[in-house]
Amino acid sequence: MAEAKKFGLAGVMGWPVSHSRSPVLHNYWLRHYGLNGAYVLLPVDPALLPAAIAGLPALGFAGCNVTIPHKVNAMKLVDHVDPVARRIGAINTIVVEADGSLSGYNNDGFGYIQSLRDAHQEWRADAGPVLVMGAGGAARAVIVSLAEQGAKDIRICNRTASSAHALATEFTADFAQASDAAKGAVVTAVPWEKRHDAVAEVVLLVNTTSQGMGSNPALDLSLDQLPLQALVSDIVYIPQETPLLKDAKARGNPTAGGLGMLLHQARPAFNAWFGVMPEVTPALRQKVEATL
């Protein structure tokens, strides 16, 4: 046991997982902070997820990240689930506790909020209506984090209307009963056909869809009616400047790219596993950018 503790071990479970940038950033931090340890790729077939997670303590792991397609199922396989993760409905981090039990967290929303603050220190969640494009897992983390920061009027616009409605109903009911800053936040669904008009009133526009990623087409959204001071953010980080961000910049809107979310979500996990809250620095950013 003492031997295992001297060498900190963590990793990322996904399927596939070879594209993950998490090893680059966690191994950078391990070296930077002079810690003895390693962060490894853990390709885990979905059918073997229960065995893989149950094996973490025996293998001497401090914990791991979980990514696509395991984020929802992994939540059911840990002993304790953090309230934020419970609200989001998925975990992205597992911590092996001293007694060998497993705790699940979701730091994606934390990463998202920090990335906005990094880009724009004066940003406030309660400044006005927010429009979230997309209604998948990433949208859930973004919506929860915005509500917990005090956003009161969150609008969801999704190609498939039923998913937007389901999220709006679930979160409005959840936030109505909240005892934290999310209390009273109202989440509504905006029809996909109305998306070009829906940008007219918002102070924050966020893309959580896969549009604009890699070789996918750009998000089909006109910014013509968007107020010029509205912040435009994209959680896509390949490319770093998505067509949406390019459009926004060209018309003078402030923007925030997706890389910041990836970098910042990793910080609380690293802290939980290795005991140091790491910093996102220009050097780290460069290191990860070089792999994109």
Q: What positions carry a catalytic annotation?
A: 71
Q: How far is CA 114 from CA 70, 245, 262, 286, in A?
A: 24, 18, 10, 18
Q: Does 210 bind ligand ATR (CB under 6 A)?
A: yes
* Contact residue for ligand ATR among 57, 136, 150, 227 (CB under 6 A): 136
Q: How far is the CB of 283 from ligand ATR (least distance, A)?
A: 28
Q: Does 135 bind ligand ATR (CB under 6 A)?
A: yes
Using Cβ positions, the residue closest to ligand ATR within the complex turns out to be 136
Nearer of residues 138 and 280 to ligand ATR, judged by Cβ = 138
- The pair of structure tokens assigned to 176 is 């109505």
Binding mask 182-201 for ligand ATR (x = CB under 6 A): --------------------
Name the residue among 159, 150, 154 with its Cα closest to residue 169. 154
Q: Does 73 bind ligand ATR (CB under 6 A)?
A: no
Q: Helix 282-289 and helix 259-274: axis angle, to 10°?
A: 110
Q: Report the alpha-carbon distance of residue 139 to residue 190 in Å, rounded.
A: 14
Q: Report the alpha-carbon distance of residue 92 to residue 108 in Å, rounded.
A: 7
* Contact residue for ligand ATR among 27, 163, 172, 188 (CB under 6 A): 163
Q: Does 159 bind ligand ATR (CB under 6 A)?
A: yes
The torsion angles phi and psi of 52, rounded to 5 degrees, stand at -65, -45
Q: Report the alpha-carbon distance of residue 157 to residue 9 in Å, rounded.
A: 40
Q: Does 165 bind ligand ATR (CB under 6 A)?
A: no
Q: How far is the CB of 98 from ligand ATR (least distance, A)?
A: 32
Q: Does 160 bind ligand ATR (CB under 6 A)?
A: yes
First to last CA, the chain: 38
* Contact residue for ligand ATR among 42, 116, 132, 138 (CB under 6 A): 138
Q: How far is the CB of 196 from ligand ATR (least distance, A)?
A: 14
